[in-house]
């Protein structure tokens, strides 16, 4: 493959890598004189026409995206049996390689990478494109720290082929969203969950769920709670942990509404930290520190002559005063030791599971375990008002007494303004609604004179009305314009192009299934027969199939046409028109003197009609056949 020229333009230089679906090469664009990345489908997929069609469709859709955090797609092509995509060449490494080298990334670097991923995804989601396979392998990082997301749409295509032993799926399952693991509908919030997993791995050095098989890992995404990242890396602040765990919520309605919202939280966190200040706890939070205690103030030594007279006399400290001072110092030291010991040796307790409990009951349970709490309210369409949706840390985690447990409490379903999605493509409309936590249902397809096929014709509830968050918005989708009945014209005896034009005039299409047969009645290339026959009723846009003559065609016949010009002193224009199986044509046209008489030989095929016009007046014809 090295040295091969694709599309007479892209010269393969070296192989960069490969996955379960494609091989990746570095190439030179000889037209624009730049380096590019070429991704080629593996041969085993090129025989699947549906897969190839989706591969090209996804690539063409992504080619419309333009964002600094998305790898640009330049071209899509085919060379023989080789199908390929030409993309921007990124000088750098993928995020998986960086994690393998560093194990745990500095939290500020990890948060910045996640922010850039979210900003790229927000642009894609706004254009109706879901990535479906966010993982460190598909995140490229330049030496300057610029993040580039690549391989959009691969997961959707992978679902249409057999991938039982694919390394791609085994690797991807660690980043699946719960709905993806269940085989359900994937939307923008599936990508957000995967970003949360990637950020979790960057700061902890491990994925949140491991298992012996892909199915075991998928089940953990559905059922298990991740170990809070702050327990695996003390440098993860509570604020960053809250961002990660919100992105990884099992219930998609409890995740960030959009990737842009998550990016803003990460940006805000960085801004609050300030330049050069991470605000994250040191790895050893109990390292040696300065403790408050007695402060000894010393004065500069002076000459005794400089002291006032009343202080020159040396005084002796009384024994009782000495004893009091020693007692006070020992007491302070004992108190400090007791406080330090109490600080360092707080008993551990197991966090109780208070999910689905009334908030007041949950508070009582936590207090009985010597735990403190705070409450975050969140709209939820499924959990009753004042009941706990989720909690942080997760149930059964071990923490110190007096540790604060955050309770996410339902404030009821909440109301949201329904966006206007009429005339939008169905997938783009679905993303707009799901981003606001609405469910989407396609009620039916219907014809529309105004809305193109595949776009939304109407919605219930209507745009700009309020509806309960989590409720279903019904959409009707256009099938295009309503076909109307038309009568099939007679195109027998016409040329192919004339037949096509006649059918288009009737709002019908000429079928590409064109055959030929021998005919002694019709000349070569003209229509011998049509299906359906003339006067049949069809719908607008239906096809008509024709059969053409391949000869030898009819024998030519000749008629001698006698013409007499009026003797009125004027010149007259003469035209002879022939109608036969070849169609209508002008056989003769010229001016003649008054009183002139002449005979003109006219050729026709099979049977026909000859008409003579003198100054555009149809005249009787006297003719005789010539053998």
HEC string for 450-504: CCCCCEEEEEECCCCCEEECCCEEEEEEECCCCCCEEECCCCCCCEHHHHHHHHH
What are the beta bridge partners of residue 529?
Answer: 547
At 577, give phi and psi (nearest 5°): -115, 135
Contacts of 464 (CB under 8 A, 6+ apart): 417, 418, 420
**Which DSSP letter does residue 252 get?**
G
Q: Where are the alpha helices (DSSP H) in 103-209?
A: 107-126, 154-158, 167-172, 178-181, 188-204
User: What is the CB neighbour count within 10 angstroms for residue 508?
Assistant: 22
Cβ-based neighbours of 132, under 8 Å, separated by 6 or more: 152, 153, 154, 155, 156, 180, 186, 190, 191
- Residue 309: C-alpha distances to residues 7, 305, 317 (Å): 106, 9, 19
> Between the CA atoms of 87, 92, 97 and 103, what dihedral angle is there, to the nearest 10 degrees?
-140
Give first-to-last CA distance, the chain, whole Å: 70
Contact between 104 and 53 under an 8 Å Cβ cutoff? The reply is no
Q: How far apart are CA 626 and CA 56, in angstroms?
A: 64
Calculate the alpha carbon distances from 128 to 131, 153, 455, 470, 505 in Å. 10, 11, 13, 20, 38
Distance CA 536, CA 460 (A): 41
Cα–Cα dist 487/375, whole Å: 72
Length, in residues, of the chain? 627
Q: Determine the Cα–Cα distance for residues 120 and 533; give it in Å rounded to an integer.
A: 57
Q: Which residue numbers are catalytic?
A: 133
| Dihedral pair phi/psi, residue 78, rounded to 5° | -140, 135
Residues in CB range of 109: below 8 A, 6 or more apart: 145, 202
Which residue matches tokens 């909690």?
391
**Residue 301: strand, helix, or coil:** coil
């Amino acid at each position: 493959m090295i040295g091969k020229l694709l599309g007479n333009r892209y010269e393969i230089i070296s192989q960069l890598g490969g996955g379960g679906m494609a091989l990746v090469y570095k190439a030179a664009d000889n037209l624009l004189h730049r380096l590019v990345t070429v991704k080629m489908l593996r041969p085993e997929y090129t025989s699947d026409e549906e897969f190839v069609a989706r591969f090209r469709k996804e690539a063409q859709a992504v080619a419309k995206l333009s964002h600094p955090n998305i790898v640009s797609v330049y071209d899509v092509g085919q060379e023989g049996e080789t199908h390929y995509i030409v993309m921007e060449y990124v000088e750098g490494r993928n995020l998986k390689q960086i994690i393998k080298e560093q194990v745990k990334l500095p939290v500020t670097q990890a948060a910045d990478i996640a922010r850039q991923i979210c900003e790229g995804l927000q642009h894609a989601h706004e254009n109706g494109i879901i990535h479906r396979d966010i993982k460190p392998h598909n995140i490229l990082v330049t030496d300057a720290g610029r993040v580039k997301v690549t391989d959009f749409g691969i997961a959707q295509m992978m679902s249409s082929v057999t991938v039982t032993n694919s390394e791609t799926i085994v690797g991807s399952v660690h980043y699946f969203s719960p709905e993806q693991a269940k085989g359900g509908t994937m939307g923008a919030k599936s990508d957000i969950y995967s970003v949360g997993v990637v950020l979790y791995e960057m700061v902890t050095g491990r994925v949140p769920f491991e298992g012996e098989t892909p199915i075991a890992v998928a089940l953990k995404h559905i059922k298990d709670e991740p170990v809070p990242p702050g327990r695996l890396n003390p440098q993860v602040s509570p604020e960053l942990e809250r961002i990660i765990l919100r992105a990884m919520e099992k219930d998609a309605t409890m995740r960030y509404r959009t990737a842009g919202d998550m990016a803003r939280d990460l940006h805000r966190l960085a801004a609050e930290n300030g330049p050069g200040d991470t605000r994250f706890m040191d790895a050893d939070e109990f390292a040696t520190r300065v403790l408050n205690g007695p402060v000894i103030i010393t004065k500069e030594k002076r000459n005794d002559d400089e002291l006032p007279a009343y202080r020159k006399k040396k005084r002796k400290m009384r024994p009782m005063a000495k004893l009091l001072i020693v007692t006070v110092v020992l007491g302070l030291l004992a108190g400090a030791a007791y406080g330090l010991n109490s600080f360092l040796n707080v008993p551990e307790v197991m966090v109780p599971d208070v999910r689905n409990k009334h908030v007041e009951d949950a508070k009582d349970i936590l207090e009985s375990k010597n735990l403190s709490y705070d409450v975050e309210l969140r709209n939820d369409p499924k959990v009753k008002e004042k009941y706990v949706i989720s909690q942080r840390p997760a149930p059964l985690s071990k923490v110190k007494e007096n540790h604060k447990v955050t309770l996410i409490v339902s404030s009821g379903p909440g109301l949201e303004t329904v966006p206007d999605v009429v005339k939008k493509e169905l997938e783009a409309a679905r993303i707009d609604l799901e981003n606001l936590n609405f469910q989407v249902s396609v009620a039916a397809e219907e014809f529309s004179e105004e809305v193109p096929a595949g776009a939304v014709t109407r919605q219930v509830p209507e745009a700009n009305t309020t509806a309960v968050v989590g409720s279903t918005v019904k959409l009707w989708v256009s099938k295009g314009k309503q076909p109307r009945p038309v009568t099939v014209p007679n195109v027998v005896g016409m040329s192919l192009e004339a037949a096509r034009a006649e059918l288009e005039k009737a709002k019908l299409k000429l079928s590409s299934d064109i055959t030929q047969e021998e005919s002694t009645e019709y000349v070569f290339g003209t229509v011998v027969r049509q299906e359906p026959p003339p006067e049949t009723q069809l719908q607008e846009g239906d096809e008509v199939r024709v059969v053409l003559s391949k000869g030898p065609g009819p024998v030519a016949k000749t008629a001698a046409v006698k013409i007499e010009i009026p003797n009125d002193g004027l010149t007259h224009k003469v035209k002879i028109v022939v109608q036969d199986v070849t169609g209508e044509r002008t056989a003769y046209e010229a001016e003649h003197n008054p009183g002139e008489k002449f005979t003109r030989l006219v050729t026709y095929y099979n049977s026909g009609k000859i008409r003579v016009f003198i100054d555009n007046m149809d005249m009787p014809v006297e003719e005789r056949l010539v053998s």
